[in-house]
Structure 1
Amino acid sequence: MKFLVADDHDLVREAIGSFIETEGAVDVFLAADLDEALKAIDEQGAFDLVLLDYNMPGMNGLEGLGKAIAQNGGKPVAILSGSASRSTAEEAIRAGAAGFVPKTLGSKSMVMAAKFMAQGEIFAPFNFMQKMGQPEDVKTGLTQREQQVLRGIAEGKSNKEIARDYDLQEVTVKLHVKTLSRKLDARNRTHAAMIARDRELI
């Protein structure tokens, strides 16, 4: 896989690019503004994931997002930001972004989020997701995919087995486990399964 990280702050751009490349075992290309990012896409072909800093030169709000999505041939493009509001994150995802990634995410979480989006899933921090109108079951408060993953956990299946059952990547399952555990206030996957049984969620 190959990713593109575009940010006008040299240290931030290089740091994010470095730990995604190291932790994620992918090729990472860097750009300092939107024009450089679009040029890189033109020269290298579509990237598996493009991360765009919301405030860098050329973005003009979410206008730059639309340009990058069009240039990247339908492959995932996400917004990276250290300060954007919840409403901006919601607007970006409605506009077609693959996700909203805070620069404050830890390296392992950043890599997991990047891989998650590269597989075609939408990523946003939990406190954003809660208010974004994503389809959730009224009874359980979980999305259909989270319920499927929870059912797999309750059946004692590993992430790899659950991924195989639903034709997902293992990293995607890991993120769903993390999200549903937060929603259920579960300490770990075993606790999540216990809560699910107690509340008759599955």
Structure 2
Amino acid sequence: MKVLLADDHALIRDTLVAYLSNEDDFQVTTAEDLPAAVVQLAKAGPFHVILLDYAMPGMDGLEGLAKMRELTDAPVAIMSGAATRRIADEALAMGAAGFVPKTIGAKALIHAVRYMAAGETFAPVQLLNDSVPNAPEVLADKLTEREREVLEGLCRGLANKEIARDLGLQEVTVKLHVKNLCRKLEAKNRTQAALLARDAGMY
């Protein structure tokens, strides 16, 4: 199954690709923005499923969804970790094959892709709220200043030792901050914490 995944955040893109690549029958092509996705569609298509980040360059809200749907008959889904229920509903009303939260687990993502490839609509909108739970100011308010500094390091892909060096802390202290910020953000691990922060536009 050929999947086109477009997202401008390398960390998020690599994480989702890692999830999908565990499936032997999946072939994943990536792009960093909508124009690049259009190029890949012409170059490496057709695809069975196309996943577009809602907030990446070139999308212009849901205009990017409409543009991509004009170019292909393949199911096109929107991905986001910080969009509202209204946006999800609008995307589905415009013909999106699904609305995929970026915090989705590996098995759920694989299920969603297969489901959409089969012509079904994946819409776990019960997971979304009418507000924006992951807006930058909401996430930031949950963390201390030091935890925000550590989170920025996670978003840059730094190891605990590197973060400790940059901030003048002991590595064990950084580990504690990582544990605390993951708990506050309800993230399963450091990668998901960074994913939430990057997708919400904090860094």
Is the 1:9–1:32 Cα contact (8 Å) retained in structure 2? yes
Is the 1:24–1:111 Cα contact (8 Å) retained in structure 2? no
The aligned counterpart of 2:121 is 122
The aligned counterpart of 1:145 is none
The aligned counterpart of 2:93 is 94
1:88 is aligned with what amino acid?
I
The aligned counterpart of 2:74 is 75
Question: What whole-Å deviation, never above 9, does each CA across 1:147-199 have from its counterpart, x for those lacking one?
Answer: xxxxxxxxxxxxxxxxxxxxxxxxxxxxxxxxxxxxxxxxxxxxxxxxxxxxx
Q: Percent identity?
A: 48
Q: Runs of 4 or more off by more than 4 Å in structure 1?
A: none
Rounded Cα–Cα distance in structure 2 between residues aligned with 1:31 and 1:66 = 18
Query: Which structure 1 residue ranges, 5 or more long, are not aligned?
Result: 130-202
* TM-score normalised according to structure 1 size: 0.61
The aligned counterpart of 1:36 is 36
Report how far residue 128 of structure 1 moved: 6.3
Larger RCO of the pair (alpha carbons < 8 Å, separation 6+) = 2
Let me know the Cα RMSD of the aligned residues: 1.7
* TM-score normalised according to structure 2 size: 0.61
- Work out the number of aligned pairs and report it: 129
Question: What whole-Å deviation, never above 9, does each CA across 1:49-86 have from its counterpart, x for those lacking one?
Answer: 000000000000000001111112x1100000010111
Rounded Cα–Cα distance in structure 2 between residues aligned with 1:41 and 1:116 = 21
SS at match of 2:23: helix
Rounded Cα–Cα distance in structure 2 between residues aligned with 1:97 and 1:128 = 17
1:116-195 alignment to 2 at 5 Å?
116-125=115-124, 127=126
Is the 2:20–2:110 Cα contact (8 Å) retained in structure 1? yes
Report how far residue 24 of structure 1 moved: 6.1
Report how far residue 15 of structure 1 moved: 1.0
Matched, 1:27 2:35: no
The aligned counterpart of 2:8 is 8
SS at match of 1:12: helix
Query: Which structure 2 residue ranges, 5 or more long, are not aligned?
Result: 129-203
